Every structure is written in C-alpha cells, then in structure tokens.
C-alpha cells in the first residue's frame, strides 16, 4: 500500500459514472479485537463489524467492499499508530477528537444518533460501539457543510454520485462554492467540446469540394496511421501494465502466504509454550512426588532398622523392647500399631495419656499386650479398664528404661519384678475391698437385728 498521493488538482477525485464508488467515513477501533463502523456522507450507517485477530489486509478488504474511505475516524487522541497506517494505505484523512471521549459520552452519542436516524443497526459490543462513536463524531463535525452541499445542489442537474464527489472534495479542503463550480465546469466543458465538433463538421460539409475531400482523406489516412501507431503503443503499454498487475498480484499472493505463515508460527509458538508449561508442571509434580516417596522410604527404612533391632533384642533375651505409642487416642494407637507392628505379648509405653478413657484402653487390651507403661497420670476410667482385664499398668517414674533410637528397652528381670509388684498390689487392694464388703454386710446384719 503506498504513501498518500499529493496533488494540486482537487478534482483528481472526480471519475466517470462507470468508475464511481460511494465515498464513506470509517470509524476504526484497533486492538486484538478490532471494531469497524462504516457510514456514508449522508449520515446513514452502512455496516458495523468486530473481529478478533483481523489482519490489516482483511480490514482493508472489508472497507473497500463498501466504498472509498475519505475519512478514518478514531475515538482517542492522539491517533494510534494502526489508525495512521490504515489511513495511509487507503489514502484517507484522519479525524480524531481534541480530547479523549468517556465511555458514558460514547454510549450517549451512539444511542441518541441511532434514535435520530431510526436505524435497526446497533453495536453488539464495546469495540463496535467505540468505532461507531468515532464515525458519528466525525460525521457530526462535517454535517453542516455536507447538508449545505445537498441544499445548494438540489436545483442543479447533478446525480447523487456527483454530489457525493463534491462532498469528498470539500472534506479534502476545497470550499463548497469552488467545488460545485468545478463540477459544473467539467460538465460544461464536455458539452461545449461536443457542440464545437458538431459545428466544425457542419462547416466542413458546407465547404466541401473534391480537392478538400482528397486533402481531408489524406489527413484522415495520416491520422489513421498515427492512431494505429498510438493504438500499437497503447497495446504495448497495456501489455506492460498487465505484466505489472500480474506481478503485483503475485507479490500480494506471496505477502498473503507470508502473513498466513506468520499466523501459523505465532499459534504454533503459543501451543509450544502451553505444552512446555504443561510438561514443567508435570515434572514439578513428579519431583514433589519423588521427594515425598523418598522421605517415606527413608522413614520406612528407619522403621525397618528399628524393628530389626527389636527382633534381635527379642531373640537375644538380653532386654525386652518397649514400643512407644505417642498419643493415647484411636488414631495414635492405630498409627503406632502400623509403624511398630504391635502384637500380642508386647510391652508398650504411653508417652501421653491425655484424652484416653475406657474405650481407648480397650483397644490396647484387645491386642493382648503384656504390660502398659504410662509416662504420666492416667484417667481413673482407663486405669480401671486395664485392672479389670488384668493388664499390668506400670508407672514410668519407678522404672528404669533405656532409650534406643525410637523405642525403649527394659530389662527382663525388672519387667517381671514390676509386673509381680503390680499384681500383688491389685490382689491386696481387691482383698481389702472384699474384707470391707464383708464387714459392711455384718454391720448391716447387726443393725437389722437391733431394729428387730
């Protein structure tokens, strides 16, 4: 698309009726999603469109399918770079407001204008609204001049296309009177030239004689010969122009292929980045899982070593391992059982008896442990449950334990002595309770005899 062409003759825009195309005002909102609004020079809305990732070629194609752009309008100041490029490509003037339009003013401008002209065309999103607001604002700026042209040409024998051309010339800077006169002069000159040719032919007919006919024939032959040369020259020029057109078409085709390739590369890069991000996320997840599995494996290895030590100790009979339960709760007992593989005949240490009752005591009793060592004072209900089921409950303060890694060790003799001591205490307490019960029965019997 080249630079804007400069000319001193304002009426270089005038064309024959076969070549004429309607002049239009284009409101343009650039961005990832572009908005395009098209109006004619009578203020009618021709088209409103928005499209995501629309190329410059597609934008230009859409615009020229509706007419020739005399003005490219924007709703911001200064005009964006994309607006300037588009105006340059279409050889159009740029119109932008002196200050930024607020969203509320654009909404009010669009809605009031649509009501004014009673059109069914309405913007469907913010991009279409902004482009239409820019087009309306531009039309309003030229409206008085354009309406003056329509009034002043009503009485003249001018077609709608010719009036449209006058409007375009005035928008480019020509005074209204001068533009109308130039348009009329073009028509008058064409008419005068035709009448002059007719008069010349009539005069030639009146003065015709044989010599003049021969002379005229010679002139006509020379003229024909000259015209043939001119035709040949024009044909050569036409052939060169066709070659140039074909070359331009080939260049356009190459540019289009290049644009398509750029679009393809762009989307391919986006997909590649998404794929890389996805793989990085997967790698991070796998690394996190690996770290977790590694930590778990190390913990299991430590546990296995501890269990091996316990097993060796159990076989050696040198000491009895004490498996530790950190929390006297259902979850704490379950975790310790899984970790230490607590089984029937084991000795366990309750690091904390807080929160434990008869039900949690029952869970340990059901395992069939040999003895329970408590690190602190246990609840009365839990102690009763152990005593009722004859599971020895030993106090840590009176026992010497040796801590090895994550478990403890008690000497076999010490354990036997402490269990025996606990059983004797329980039996003595039970005997005492039975004696007290018997004495109570005797006292009750004596009291009944006295009352009788």
CA atoms within 13 A on the CB side of 25: 31
- Looking at residue 237, the DSSP 8-state letter turns out to be H
Number of domains observed in the structure of the chain = 2
Those residues whose C-beta lies under 8 Å from the C-beta of residue 340, and which sit 6 or more positions away, are: 303, 306, 307, 310, 323, 324, 346, 407
CA 237 to chain centroid: 54
Could you tell me which residues come within 8 angstroms of residue 45 by beta carbon, excluding any fewer than 6 positions away?
Answer: 37, 38, 39, 114, 117, 119, 121, 132, 135
Residue 312 lies in a domain: no
Whether residue 43 sits in one domain with residue 183: yes
174-189 burial: b if 16+ Cβ within 10 Å, else e? bebeebbebbbeeeee
Alpha-carbon span 27 to 64, nearest angstrom: 14
Pinpoint the alpha helices (H) of 368-451.
380-388, 412-451
Please identify, among 150, 173, 207, the residue that sits at the C-terminal boundary of a domain.
207
In this structure, are 334 and 193 located in the same domain? no
Domain boundary at 176, 207, 238, which?
207
Domain of residue 21 covers 10-207
Exposed, middle or buried: residue 360 (CB in 10 Å: 0-12, 13-18, 19+)? buried
Q: Residue 391 has which token pair?
A: 């599971």
- Same domain for 331 and 203? no
Does the residue 112 lie in any domain?
A: yes
Of 183, 207, 231, the position where a domain reaches its end is 207
Tens-place pLDDT, residues 159-175: 888 899 999 999 998 89
Do 75 and 194 reside in the same domain of the chain? yes
Phi, psi of 86 (to 5 degrees): -65, -45
At 77 the pLDDT is 86
Query: Is 213 a domain residue?
Result: no
pTM of the prediction? 0.41
At a CB cut-off of 8 Å and minimum separation 6, what does 430 contact? none
Specify if 197 maps to a domain.
yes
Supply the CATH number for residue 117's domain. Answer: 3.30.420.140
Residue 304 is predicted with a pLDDT of 58
> For position 4, what pLDDT does the model report?
29
* List of E strands, 184-231: none
Q: Do 30 and 172 fall within a single domain?
A: yes
Give the tokens for residue 200. 């010349």
In a domain, 273, yes or no: no
- The stretches in the chain having pLDDT less than 50 are 1-19, 315
Q: Does 177 share its domain with 48?
A: yes
Closest CA to 200 of 210, 189, 192: 192
What CATH number is associated with residue 386? 3.50.30
Cβ atoms of 328 and 356 within 8 Å: the answer is: yes
Phi, psi of 404 (to 5 degrees): -125, 115
For 281-337, write each residue's pLDDT tens digit: 888 888 888 787 777 776 666 665 555 555 555 545 567 889 999 889 999 999 988
> What angle is formed at CA 39 by the lines to CA 35 and CA 41, rounded to 5 degrees?
150
């Amino acid at each position: 698309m080249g630079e804007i062409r400069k000319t001193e003759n304002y009426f270089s825009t005038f064309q024959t009726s076969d070549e004429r195309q309607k002049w239009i005002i284009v409101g343009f909102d650039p961005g990832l999603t572009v908005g395009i609004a098209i109006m004619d020079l009578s203020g009618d809305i021709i088209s409103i469109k928005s499209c995501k990732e629309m190329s410059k070629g597609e934008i230009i194609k859409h615009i020229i399918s509706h007419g020739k752009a005399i003005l490219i309008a924007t709703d911001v100041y200064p005009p964006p770079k994309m607006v300037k490029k588009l105006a340059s490509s279409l050889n159009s003037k740029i119109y932008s407001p002196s200050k930024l339009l607020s969203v509320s003013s654009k909404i009010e401008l669009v809605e009031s204008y649509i009501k004014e002209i009673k059109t069914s065309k309405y913007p469907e999103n913010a991009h279409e609204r902004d482009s239409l607001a820019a087009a309306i604002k531009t039309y309003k700026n030229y409206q008085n001049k354009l309406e003056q042209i329509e009034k002043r040409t009503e009485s003249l024998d001018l077609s709608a296309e010719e009036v449209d051309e006058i409007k375009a010339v005035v928008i480019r800077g020509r005074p209204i009177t001068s533009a109308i006169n130039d348009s009329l002069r073009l028509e008058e000159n064409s008419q005068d030239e035709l009448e002059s040719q007719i008069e010349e032919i009539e005069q030639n007919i009146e003065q015709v004689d044989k010599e003049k006919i021969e002379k005229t024939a010679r002139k006509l032959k020379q003229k024909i010969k000259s015209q043939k040369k001119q035709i040949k020259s024009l044909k050569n020029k036409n052939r060169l122009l066709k070659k140039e057109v074909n070359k331009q078409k080939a260049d356009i085709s190459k540019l289009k292929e290049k644009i398509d390739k750029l679009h393809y590369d762009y989307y391919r890069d986006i997909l590649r980045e998404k794929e890389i991000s996805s793989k990085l996320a997967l790698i991070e997840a796998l690394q996190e899982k690996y770290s977790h599995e590694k930590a778990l494996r190390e913990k299991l290895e430590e546990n296995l070593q501890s269990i091996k030590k316990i097993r060796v100790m159990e076989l050696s009979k040198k000491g009895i391992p004490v498996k530790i339960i950190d929390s006297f709760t259902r979850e704490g007992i379950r975790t310790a059982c899984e970790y230490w593989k607590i089984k029937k005949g084991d000795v366990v240490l309750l690091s904390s008896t807080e929160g434990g009752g008869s039900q949690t005591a029952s869970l340990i009793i059901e395992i069939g442990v040999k003895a329970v060592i408590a690190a602190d004072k246990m609840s009365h209900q839990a102690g009763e449950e152990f005593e009722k089921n004859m599971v020895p409950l030993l106090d840590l303060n009176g026992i010497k334990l040796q801590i090895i890694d994550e478990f403890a060790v008690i000497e076999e003799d010490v354990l036997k002595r402490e269990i025996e001591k606990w059983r004797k205490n329980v039996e003595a307490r039970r005997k005492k309770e039975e004696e007290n019960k018997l004495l109570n029965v005797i006292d009750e019997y004596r009291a009944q005899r006295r009352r009788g």
